[in-house]
Structure 1
Amino acid sequence: MTDKKNNSQHAEAKPTKGIIDSPDSVTKESKPASKTGVITGAVAILLTLGLGAGLYYHSHQQNQIQQQVMATLQAQLQEQKDTQQSLRLQLSENNQTIANQLKQTTQQVTDIKESEKLTNSQLETVQLAIANLKMRNPNEWMLAEAEYLIRIAGRKIALEQDVDTSLALLSSASRRLTQLNDPSLLPLRKVIEQDIATLTKLPRIDHDGLALKLAIQAEEVDNLVLAGLTRPDIIKTDKELSSNSSDWKENLTKSWQSFSANFITIRRQDNSVDALLSPQTAWYLTENLKTQLLQAELAVYRQDQAKFKLTLKTANAWIKRYYDVNQPATKAMLTTLDTLKETTITTTYPSKLNSAALIQTTIRDRKINSLANNTGAE
């Protein structure tokens, strides 16, 4: 063991001595180490490049994958948007279609209801016609006649204010119902009597008579005499003297009259005298007075009480101011106008008779009841 150790020590000491002793030997020994470092560096560089390339390739692949994923997601999103838009349009079209169908259905329901009303009305008309055919007996004819008389009476009072004719018609209708001797018609007869009582209380106004009186007064205006100075009547005398001596008294009278005619005669006028009107003014006055009387006549037909009194008052004032009130024609006209001015020309007439609606309802109910009874009997 000792020998081997020594030998190994000697062996290890020799290279040291050799390296120290010979520089060339050092150079020769360091060359293999340099090549190994270069190779190691190259390998490291290659590894680095490979790793970088691998990382770049991996990153590039990841980017492409992400882009593809993004493109796919965007396509799916756009597809979803298009699908939603299509669904919205379809939903809107469905709503519009439903609205149109609902409108058509509503219109159809309305048409059906109108058709039902028309059908019911036609059916009722047919039933009433059948009832009319089945009720041809004297009693029903008398009831229909009474209805006609009441309807004419209502027109007379509403349109013509003819109270007397309306009363006569209502009385005739009441007699028709009395002849029927039907207790169920007592309420109708009561209403007719109430209408008769209402018409009886109305004042009787003869509008036609009043209008005729005013028309006559308008014609009499031309006969009125205007107030003012009047010339005395000229007495025509025979101024020729007789040649007979026995007529000396008559000749003396004629001579005196001829002599006195040249003197001024003074006459006394007790009433006041207005200035004389010119012929043109007098004509306008006459025509305006006629117009006032004609307006009063028109107010009678229109039943305008205020206008009637005003026109007569104006005519009365004009006559007293411009015409001779001492003349008989003037006095008569003033008396007539004063009487007419106090006349009432208007009143309130009923627009319809209560018995008119009641008798129509009564006839209708009787027809329906008769039809129902005949149908039940069959």
Structure 2
Amino acid sequence: MSQILITRPHGKGADLAEQLSQGGYQATLFPVLKIDYFTPDNTQLSPLLNADKIIFISQDAVKALLALKPDINIKAQFYAVGEQTAEAIWQAFGVRAAVPKQHDSEGLLALKSLQQIDGQNIVLVKGKDGRATIAKNLKQRGAFLNNLVVYQRGPVEGNATDWIDHWQSLDVKGIVITSNAAVDAIFRELGAKQLEWIRRCQFYVASARISEHLAAQQIDSANIHIAAGASDSAMFTCISEGNIMSEDTKPTSQLADTKATQSSSTKANAKVADSPSATKKDFAMNQKPNPTNKQKVSKTGSLALLISLIVAAGVGYQFYQKLNTQQQENLLVNQLSADNQLLSKELQAVKVAQQTLQQALFNSEQKVTAALAASEAETQQQLESALQRAEQQTYSLNPQEVTSLQRMAEFKLWAEKDYQGATAVLSRLDALLAEHPGTGAIRQAIHQDLQALSIVKSVPVEAIYLQLHGVLGQVDKLTFNAVALPQEVEQEEQHALSENVSDWQQNLANTWHQMMDGFIKIRQREDVAIEALLTEQERHLIKQRLSLYLSQAQDALLTKQASVYFTALNQASELVNDYFKQDDPQTQSVLKALAALNKESLNFNPEITLKSTEQVKEWAQ
């Protein structure tokens, strides 16, 4: 069996090895590369949110990005270089990716949807120093390209010279390579002997790009076989069509024919040498008497000669019978050998035909499967493109709607001083823009405006108004300052009646004076200064005036006139201090409430400039 070496990274060559084993090959897994994942920052990952197209160059790119759990625009068009990468995208993000028929950079760039990309945001998810051709061509076509490097391939620990010696001991005939990095890892610091041996091996590569990289290592192009992609089925088909045959895989009929030919030649020579006719002829020539040399023979000699002739004839006859039997056996053996050789050839021909038929059937199945997969991918791509066009037609962004929402936010801010309303309108505009790519600058400005509006502390108009209403309800309960009258001077009673009858005239005069005192009474006080008393009407007017100041403060609060508000509160506080009893709990409560209301910060006109206004104007133009 031919020994095939699979150099793919760890965990990626097991399925191919199993297919090769079932196909009659010996497969050895020998990873020469390791994968190191990177951790990009948020700035590098942010283009994924507004991307129009996202391209993945390998399964490792998909796995590395999935581990980062970034915010990604699922509505963007996804692309994969091969079928396995497309399947990994589906498993990771639930999105069907477009796959080219030719699984390499050139095949990807040939897709129709990547021809007209001027001004589109494209993110290329790749490994370090990989796929420079794709990046170069996309930039030339006018795309805004963001290279997102998420992993790096590097050689595993070990000396490449030791690898080659180990492979040579395994009698490796073919080597599977799926990246240029694997070529660089294998051909680093090799000696002359290792280079001489490895250049005789067959190489099975995933693309023409890798083939060119191998050719730079002075590998004969006849020893390089390009598969239809990096998938296991494509590699297996390429190896099967390569027809690697070792000495132990040659048909046994060839060896049998060679041995049979040699055996036939040997037996033919033996047959000629041991032929009975030749033996008898030689014997006769040796025993025939020479007529020219006639001599006299005695009777005893004749008898001895006769006996010798009889014995020789018996021995010759026995030898002839034995030789005849041996010839028949040899003929039978030769016939059986010929029949066996014929049967072996026919059996080998049947096996070759069966293998050819199986290979043809397998190739047909592979071609049918590949054709069906390509047709399905093309149909899926056309369907997604049509769906995307329909969505763009149905949900296209209306510039008038964006401009209208921005103007409404400005009106809420400047005319109505409604900061919460302005925040709600800007949030609605941000939600609308989030459904469409290419609006990142406007959304950033909107979020800055939302942050500025959130810092503004709104005036609690309703709470202050209710507090004023509560103070207004306590006005009627306030107690005016009481006037402290001086103590009356005690006077001796001058007009007391006497009990003596003779004093009737005096009693009559005293009675008259008492009657007069009932109508007019003059009291004398010790203190000289006496404050004037407020009439009931004046007290009523003072309370009405206090209520008016509090109502004026309420109106100023509703109309957002801070200066009028504070002036009315100050005048109300002066009235309470001047006319009402200071040690009364009701008065103290009112004064405390007025002082707290006077400390409120009524900033009705904070300076805020909407940065999103300029961005929307530029975008609309």
Greater share of residues in strand: 2
Q: Which has the higher helix share?
A: 1
Task: Note whether the superposition's TM-score is higher than 0.5.
Answer: no
TM bracket (short chain): 0.3 to 0.5
Larger Rg: 1
